Structure 1
């Protein structure tokens, strides 16, 4: 299957639909009776004054999530090919995005982190223009506003603000105006939120928004032990990817090297920002899927032993489907 997606063939879109359905078929047999969808954080709930948490049936919820994931996969694929991050056009980023988005059952339903992936992809489009762009201040400002919007939907997204400064460090010489622009962009959204609080006589509670930032980082995470088994092929592929990247790192163009460094930092920020949420949910890690999909695509594009990389990907697919059918 990897060999098919290595080429940039529009017919691969049909294969993407097949993989999308395959990585969700097991969950459809164990579909819950009720699935809650929370679109915004509690502090922004006043902005959406209607009851929507259970407006979708579980089946419709999963279908809509699948459609969004498919669109995101195509956007990621377009981003990577447009900026030539892999060195050749391919459909592997889309394949890896769809596969990794089916890794855990909570990834398969509508959730704030899934919605925020659109904003993360939007930010990446802007960051990729920093290297040769002339007006970095407007890009940083826009990115700050995007992070603020993401924070209204899913508060841990606030840590992606660090990605703005990391992108400026990687792609631009230091200019304090560009750094301040990101802060102004973020502050613009929350200024209007503060005005909304004031008009609703809740300005005295505005400071409560920031209290989660003072939470202590947890000593451990409570995750079903069987989920760790599912991570074995994922970790194997990531290790192989970083080894392959290290081999070719200095052979790549400067922009490509810096782009992969940025993706790596985004991966770390997304992974370690989970603790800000009031209650831990594994669907938080769907934010890691965007950079992880690029890393996976890089490995599978440049891997040389066909029997090995095809078997490794098949193992990942089988593991995903198996654990959806078996809840233990």
Structure 2
């Protein structure tokens, strides 16, 4: 039984995580295209690095490196959850769920800006959860503003996670306008240096065009292949059961835990809805939702009581992921 093996904090679980990581990627590696281009920075930052790197890695190396990053992120996320006692018990479930969710769709299996930005999301969560007991949040808000700015240089839709800073200040702290302004100053610091670089290269007139994508209208419809999204059926069921379980235990939890889950929900929502900023719809954007989703999943699987239900659900999720990797319709 997979889930029950990860309910406790056993270091040997890392070996099983690596095996699962391989299993969830071998199907795509079997028929992946020979050449895959990857851009790690937004076009408006290419001025800083005028070197072609899109075809730096072969497909096999690309998939391998993406898997290594996912494993590191999974372990960092697991440490984060256990450090702040979000689930009430030490467990390896967050790492298991993150590795599973990061294999949902084939674009998730490759190096991409959203995958790299997930390191920044985890970094932000460490700082955001510290707001609850922190005395002075101004320096933390400033740092968070800088992190969001750096993330937007890598992947521009990351800019919307700036809203998370203000939402966290509302949830964790009494209102202080200096803390709200500190986040703006942190964000502005990074772009000030970018503006200086543009100016020194006589391209300051192009600087204002960076924010034009924010004016993009939210799409009325998205052209997708619905067969490939059947894998989301067990995901939706698990999320629903998670929110039911959270509702049952909500007022039994510590105040910090309740506030933390409220913040995670907003991160999940904001990260998911910010996809429209990119002109071309890419599924890998939704990797930004993987971290809060993994914590929600872990909560359900830790507190679910009927082992046949939760083990079957997780097994169906794994089977559907592997099946749709081998069948592209």
Q: Same fold (TM over 0.5)?
A: yes
Match of 1:157 in 2: 158
Residue 57 of structure 2: aligned partner: 56
Distance in 1 (alpha carbons) for counterparts of 2:13 and 2:209: 48
Give the Cα separation in 2 of the matches to 1:92 and 1:220.
Answer: 35
CA distance in 2: counterparts of 1:228 and 1:32, whole angstroms: 21
**Tell me, what secondary structure is at the counterpart of 2:191?**
helix
Residue 174 (structure 1) shift = 0.3
Cα root mean square deviation, aligned: 0.5
Comparing 142-151 and 22-31, the one that deviates more? 22-31
Count of residue correspondences:
328
Partner of 1:102: 103
Q: Is the 8 A contact 2:228 2:328 kept in 1?
A: no
Structure 2 match to 1:7: 8
Q: Quick one: distance in 1 between partners of 2:154 and 2:101? A: 22
Deviation at 1:301, TM superposition (A): 0.2
Aligned to 1:280: 281
Partner SS, residue 75 of structure 2: helix
Per-residue Cα deviation, 1:183-214 (whole angstroms, up to 9, x for no partner) = 00000000000001001111001110010001
Q: Matched residues in 2 for 1:324 and 1:37: separation?
A: 20
SS at match of 2:40: coil
1:235 aligns with 2:261: no
Partner of 2:68: 67
Q: C-alpha separation between the residues in 1 aligned to 2:96 and 2:177?
A: 39
SS of aligned partner of 2:47: helix
Query: Distance in 1 between the 2:117 and 2:225 partners?
Result: 25
**Deviation beyond 2 Å, 4+ runs, structure 1:** none
User: How many angstroms does 1:228 deviate by?
Assistant: 2.2
Partner of 2:122: 121
Q: Which residue of 2 aligns with 1:26?
A: 27
In the TM superposition, residue 298 of structure 1 has moved relative to its aligned partner by: 0.1
What's the counterpart of residue 313 of structure 1?
Answer: 314
For residues 214 and 62 of structure 1, what CA distance do their matches in structure 2 show?
34
> Who is 1:173 aligned against?
174
Q: Secondary structure at the match of 1:320?
A: helix
The CA distance in 2 between the partners of 1:49 and 1:80, in whole Å, is 39
Q: Shift of the alpha carbon at 1:31?
A: 1.3
TM-score (ref. length: structure 1): 0.99
Counterpart residue number, 2:112: 111
- 1:80 deviates by 0.1
Write the distance in 1 (CA, Å) between the matches of 2:10 and 2:147.
33
Alignment of 1:237-316 (within 5 A): 237-316=238-317
Cα deviation, 1:17-41, whole Å, max 9, x if unaligned, reads 0110111110011111111110100
- State whether structure 2 residue 44 is matched by structure 1 residue 43: yes
C-alpha deviation, 1:50, in angstroms: 1.0
Q: Per-residue deviation at 1:278? A: 2.1
TM-score between both structures, scaled by the size of structure 2: 0.99
SS across alignment from 1:244: helix
1:67 is displaced (CA, Å) by 0.2
More displaced 10-residue stretch of structure 1: 189-198 or 219-228:
219-228
Partner in structure 1 of residue 207 of structure 2: 206
Ranges in structure 2 where 5+ consecutive residues have no aligned partner: none
